[in-house]
Structure 1
Amino acid sequence: MIQSWRRIRGKKNKKEKILLGTDLADIAEMVTIPMHFRCPITLDLMKDPVTLSTGITYDRQSIERWIESGNQTCPVTNQVLKSFEAIPNHTIRRMIQDWCVENRSSGFERIPTPRIPLASFQVSEVCERIGFATRRGDSVKCQELVEKLKAWGRESERNKQCMNENAAGYFLSASFEAFSSSSSMEKHVGLLETIVSVLPWMFPIGVESQSHLGSSSSLNCMVGFLRGKDLSARQNTVLVLKELLSLNQSYVDTLAEIEGGVEALVGIIKEPICPAATKASLTSIFYMISSSKSSEKISLRLVEMGLVSLLLDILVDGEKGVCERALGILDGICDCKEGREKAYENALTTPVLVKKLLRISEVATEFLVSVLLKLCKNENGGDDKGSVLVEALQFGAFHKILVILQVGCNERIKEKVTELLKLFNLHRDRLVCIDSSMDFKYLKRPF
């Protein structure tokens, strides 16, 4: 009897909980947000109400997006805006906060008091003081001011944009060059590391800023950071280098001549800090190997450092962007005999290259075809069972290459695909294909 009562009571309690949950949901739906608390653009509850010169109040994010899209009128009144300044409406904001507190039981959380956005004059004032402190060689004052910029940038993306628009990148890069070329640079390492932590927010930068960061002293300092033990400095530096090297070929050539530069970039791949740093390092190496005057010399150094095996390992389970960059570097390395020999020695080479065909992106497929062609054309003893050409056919490369032609490709790839098919035709009839979806974990790796 007692057990039966407990079962009935348990069912009743469960039913009450379900009804209670439904009632709360209904109550939340029944609560109406006052219209003057809603943004006229999105009709959502305003989190940071601001008033324009027309007297209409909007949510800051919505109206800024409206103005940034090129609109010069007030969305409600359609009047041309005499000023784009958005003045915080503290009265409405407090009223919204009080209303949220009153309706907390209905699921409304109190909106936090927004920070006052960074103004252009604030950035300009700090930048001018950085310039003055740099000219005086006052690294302590300079550090204090750069830390202020860093704190602003951490608050919001809007603050980063404001700093960028007010030439913060120029003052930071000029200060970086000045203190990195100082005879007592070791005393300014803390300042230089702080500057390099802010610089990734400043891109794209102007020509003058580029020349400061691309100078020999600045690049030497950056290489020193890459070779150091501070992970944060290494990460920030490689992000800056990636952006800088994409802007001008002369910076690529200068970096290639700095002793230990290439080795430092490879070190970030060998001991990953984060995906962004790995991708930036691969991108920087790609610029050096594909367009540097000493690309052949760099390729040999990369081979000696064991980069071929690292790249193939990355390709096994790397994400799209990383794989594209890894393949671009591998394609450049395979231009030299030593690079191809390392690829022949690695058990992963053929199965990974064939498996990744058509699976990453069009750019990656072009690199894959190029690498396969270089390996198949230049190997000796193409009739051997272990040759790349024979292995590629066994893993189903012939059919994938045909698909590339069928789905359409540009003339550059088409020419390489046609040449590759001619090589495959010599052996295709007497070989049995292997399932190319096989797992790589059973293959013996040479590292």
Structure 2
Amino acid sequence: MALRGEHFAQIVNVLRDQISQQASKASLQIMIEICQWSRNRIKTVEAGAVSVLIEILLEKTIEKRDSEMVLVVLDQLCRCAEGRAELLRHGAGIAVVSKSILRVSHLATDRGVRILSSMLRFSGTSCVVQEMLQVGVVSKLCLVLQVDCSLKTKEKAKEMLKLHSRVWKNSSCIPLLVLSSYPSS
């Protein structure tokens, strides 16, 4: 808990530089441990971790376990306002989190839904809501309700869909087949 800012910067630099697969995994494991405390989350965000994590998720050759670890760290960082702001500031932030839902694993789906839930609950401006509609988040949330996911994940998806139902329900971006699973308000 007594880590200084330069420690966080070095951990992020190891991820950014991609020295080796082992070093990157070790950095992610360290981040998972240290980001359990809110003070460390803010320092991690200030060190530039959010954009580096998003860039890692954008890589085509990322392994399943690495994706899961990145999403766990992003979920922790999105528990603070600074982390959510950085995710929104990155042009691919919401899209890359949405992309991981139902594609990687149950853990990745759970963490992706949790990240989006944090975004909508605490940073759900009309621009964010519209961006989520445009990048396919709404369709993904409807699909989460139909597939084999944890009950908690389905409840979060349903809660998000209900929260913004007035904006999303009549959108032409939602396929009619998916719209049949849309929860009623």
Q: Normalised by the size of structure 2, how large is the TM-score?
A: 0.84
CA distance in 2, matches of 1:410, 1:420: 16
Please report how far the alpha carbon of residue 312 of structure 1 lies from its aligned counterpart in structure 2 after TM superposition: 0.7
Please report how far the alpha carbon of residue 277 of structure 1 lies from its aligned counterpart in structure 2 after TM superposition: 1.4
Higher relative contact order (CA 8 A, sep 6+): 2
Name the residue aligned to 1:358: 102
- Is 1:402 the equivalent of 2:148? no
Contact 2:53 2:70 in 1 (8 A): yes
Name the residue aligned to 1:48: none
Q: Which runs of 5+ in 2 are unaligned?
A: 175-185
Matched residue type, 2:17: E
The aligned length equals: 172
Contact 1:393 1:428 in 2 (8 A): yes
Q: Which runs of 5+ in 1 are unaligned?
A: 1-255, 435-447
Matched residue type, 1:282: L
CA distance in 1, matches of 2:163, 2:124: 13
Contact 1:395 1:433 in 2 (8 A): no
| SS class of match (2:144) | helix
Q: Which of 25, 35, 47 is 1:305 aligned to?
A: 47
Of 361-370 and 421-430, the range deviating more from structure 2: 421-430
Matched residue type, 2:79: D
- Equivalent residues in 2 for 1:121-160 (5 A)? none
Q: Which of 416, 421, 427 is 2:156 aligned to?
A: 416
CA distance in 1, matches of 2:77, 2:148: 27
| SS class of match (1:419) | helix
CA distance in 1, matches of 2:166, 2:78: 23
Q: Which of 372, 389, 392 is 2:132 aligned to?
A: 392
Percent identity, please: 32
Of 373-382 and 344-353, the range deviating more from structure 2: 373-382
- Whichever structure has more helix as a proportion of its residues is 2
Contact 2:117 2:160 in 1 (8 A): yes
Please report how far the alpha carbon of residue 395 of structure 1 lies from its aligned counterpart in structure 2 after TM superposition: 2.2
Residues 194-221 of structure 1: per-residue CA shift (max 9 Å, x gap): xxxxxxxxxxxxxxxxxxxxxxxxxxxx
The structure whose Rg is larger is 1
Structure 1 stretches (4+) deviating beyond 4 angstroms? none
Please report how far the alpha carbon of residue 307 of structure 1 lies from its aligned counterpart in structure 2 after TM superposition: 0.8
Please report how far the alpha carbon of residue 357 of structure 1 lies from its aligned counterpart in structure 2 after TM superposition: 1.4
Q: Normalised by the size of structure 1, how large is the TM-score?
A: 0.36
Contact 2:117 2:156 in 1 (8 A): yes
CA distance in 2, matches of 1:424, 1:392: 11
Please report how far the alpha carbon of residue 414 of structure 1 lies from its aligned counterpart in structure 2 after TM superposition: 2.3
CA distance in 2, matches of 1:430, 1:345: 27
CA distance in 2, matches of 1:269, 1:392: 27
Matched residue type, 1:376: L
Residues 44-63 of structure 1: per-residue CA shift (max 9 Å, x gap): xxxxxxxxxxxxxxxxxxxx
- Is 1:283 the equivalent of 2:29? yes
